[in-house]
Amino acid sequence: MEKANAKEKVGGSNNKNAYLLFMIFCYLVPISIVYFYYDSHHSISSIICSYKHKYIILFFMCLMGFGTILYELERRDKFSTILITMLLFCLYGLICINEKSILHFIFSFLTFAFIISFMIRHYILTKYNTVLLISLLVEILVALYSVIQLQKNIFFSEVLLLANFAFYFIYLHFLQ
């Protein structure tokens, strides 16, 4: 019985590793597009919402989302899976809706609300890991800064928010 449980844990871990690699691979395409076009844009949304990029970004984000859902199912935490699913839905909304629309701002707010909720959830589940706390606090502070600077260039604060969340997610992966 113990061998079966150990095998299940190792198999689950291998699946999570494969899903994480798949997610990273899929996310590299949108990251590359943003990287190559950032110089003339004031926000990530101005790049991902452009007709020139939105469909390729949406395609790879959907693939990444599929891998993310599979990853979360392996984690076996229904609440975490719901948070990530809602986060993905909001990300797709951000990509599809014009950045000047009020709906875009609503999706943006919800995206970061789900990110921060996910981070709080796992900070608590890990019994208050210090590294996760620092990352969570950085996320909250940079999100607040972005809201204050909304009418200005927020490109780098958005990049920091996404990079910090990626760090959090990957750190959490290796922590568990």
List, for residues 31-40, the tens digit of each pLDDT value. 999 999 888 7
pTM of the entire structure?
Answer: 0.89
The domain of 100 spans 2-175
Cα–Cα distance, 154 to 151 (Å, whole number): 8
What confidence tens digit (pLDDT) does each residue in 93-133 have?
999 999 999 999 999 999 999 999 999 999 999 999 999 99
Residues ≥6 apart with Cβ < 8 Å to 61? 26, 27, 30, 88, 91, 92, 95
Could you give the number of structural domains in the chain? 1
